[in-house]
């Protein structure tokens, strides 16, 4: 009975196992959109987009909340495999290189993960952590002030990224 209770607790605490990374339009995107995306057990979507802006490659993350939830005033934080928590709030409405780095639009938050001219990610880059990590926890605050965490698996992220773009991954 105790094992069953622990198993049920794990399933509810870690909904990351709910999704596999996919390539193509994320739910709600235009049919021709190319993204890498995954859905957690609660219906939240984590989307990675590769944009070309003036010759640069931009890797932008979006978190779309499920169930009509709305973000508060701060960009989400990220933590891979229980490591260092990365603050993204400095990117909110930050303009540089001809683009806004981060924004919140109701139930969608987006922030820049990497900008590269040569389309290479090196060991130690933030994107490299996503490729080599097992899971990511994204902390956020909703419009009513409640703190929440969405968890997603990163297994398969490398294959999805390589299918999405021609990035070179250096070890």
Residue 7 binned pLDDT confidence (cut-offs 50, 70, 90)? very low
Residue with tokens 């508060």: 72
Copy the structure tokens of residue 42. Answer: 């609660």
- Helix ranges (H only) for the chain are 2-13, 126-132, 157-164
pLDDT at 97: 65
- This prediction has a pTM of 0.84
Domain tally, the chain: 1
pLDDT at 42: 95
Q: What CATH number has the domain bearing residue 140? A: 2.60.40.1880
Task: Give per-residue pLDDT as tens, 34-82.
Answer: 999 999 999 999 999 998 888 888 899 999 999 999 999 999 999 999 9
Task: Give per-residue pLDDT as tens, 87-142.
Answer: 877 777 667 666 678 889 999 999 988 888 888 888 888 888 899 999 999 999 99
Going by C-alpha positions, the residue among 126, 21, 37, 141 that lies closest to residue 83 is 126
pLDDT at 18: 52
Query: Which domain does 75 fall in, by range?
Result: 2-169
Residue 153 has a CB neighbour count (10 Å cut-off) of 21
Q: Do 73 and 142 form a contact (C-beta atoms < 8 A)?
A: no
Average pLDDT over residues 19-26: 91
pLDDT at 52: 84
Is it the case that residue 162 has pLDDT exceeding 60? Answer: yes
């Amino acid at each position: 009975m105790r094992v069953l209770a622990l198993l049920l607790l794990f399933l509810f605490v870690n909904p990351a196992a709910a999704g596999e990374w996919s390539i193509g339009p994320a739910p709600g995107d235009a049919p021709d959109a190319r993204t890498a995306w995954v859905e957690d057990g609660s219906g939240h979507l984590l989307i990675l987009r590769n944009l070309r802006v003036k010759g640069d490659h931009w890797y932008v993350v979006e978190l779309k909340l499920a169930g009509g939830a709305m973000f508060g005033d701060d960009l989400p934080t990220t933590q891979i495999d229980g490591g260092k928590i990365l603050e993204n709030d400095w990117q909110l409405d930050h303009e540089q290189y001809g683009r806004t780095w981060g924004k919140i639009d109701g139930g969608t938050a987006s922030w820049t993960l990497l900008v590269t001219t040569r389309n290479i990610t090196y060991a130690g880059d933030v994107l490299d952590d996503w490729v080599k990590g097992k899971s990511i926890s994204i902390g956020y605050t909703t419009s009513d002030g409640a703190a929440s965490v969405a968890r997603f698996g990163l297994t398969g992220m490398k294959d999805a990224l390589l299918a999405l773009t021609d990035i070179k991954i250096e070890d």
